[in-house]
Chain A
């Protein structure tokens, strides 16, 4: 649906069918941490799998907050400049539910964004830009 004129937008309460955005349900996991089990946590794991944070996805994710989810969460928090807590804190959940590009942040296990930058890479670029 295209809206060529902003004044033509219908004043609906949220999305056009009144439902929540796909990831809004994740906000119910606020405060969830390693060792816990919550209904629907498997969907969050699918989210992290979709964007490259969990590799080698099983046929079915469990609802357990396991080590794999904590690891994915830490990398995500690093990539998005969040406090790296390994927990589903409010700040992290607010970022997760935002609309986003469907391309993965980590492609074929090759880390990118903040989490993929090694110390040597930083050093090289730092010297280069300083000299320049």
Chain B
């Protein structure tokens, strides 16, 4: 796991965060983001609550196409899928040109450019909270994801990284759905962090 330069994080007095949407989205799409936030709140003391006020929200989520004013234009179908800013900026932008799948098994999609929204949302929330990209291919914070791929569970690398920043959720039982730290260190001689 890595952090942004200077290791920015949400301060202790701002750990109950709100999020809002720039667009009129269906409840089904909003539910995708709710599930994505739950992945991170399950392992940290952070909480995430939806709000109707986009302006006042700590985390501002929007779908944009092309040049949308932040100096990082989107490039149409596939290529760059989304980006997010480091704490405490709170902006999460997704490429509105993508073919976002919000339900069903994206792996069986007849559309080769179909992208699983929840997978990308979990990754981008990691950036919002302070994580950079990881070289661990099992980690959510690995930079690439193929189309028609679903990857929504935090890896042990993600959990170690985010808990370094915020500590653990008191209810977290220490298990992740991917390879455990012990297993990984056994397999590679314990060299990697």
Contacts from A to B (Cβ < 8 Å): 1-7, 9-17, 19, 21-23, 51, 79-81, 95, 98-103, 105, 107-108, 110, 112-114, 116-117, 121-122, 125-126, 129-130
Contacts and interface: CB of A to CB of B under 8 A. Distances in A.
- Majority-rule SS of A interface residues: loop
- How many residues of B sit at the interface, in one of the four size bands? 35 or more
Nearest to B114: A9
Contacts of B4: 107
Contacts of A12: 110-112
A50 to B, nearest CB: 8
A81 B135 contact: yes
Contacts of A3: 99-104, 109, 111, 114
Interface of B: 2-5, 26, 28-29, 72, 74-84, 96-106, 108-115, 117, 120, 123-124, 127, 132-135, 137, 143-147, 181, 185, 190-193
Contacts, number: 153
A7 B104 contact: yes
B84 A22 contact: no
Nearest to A109: B5
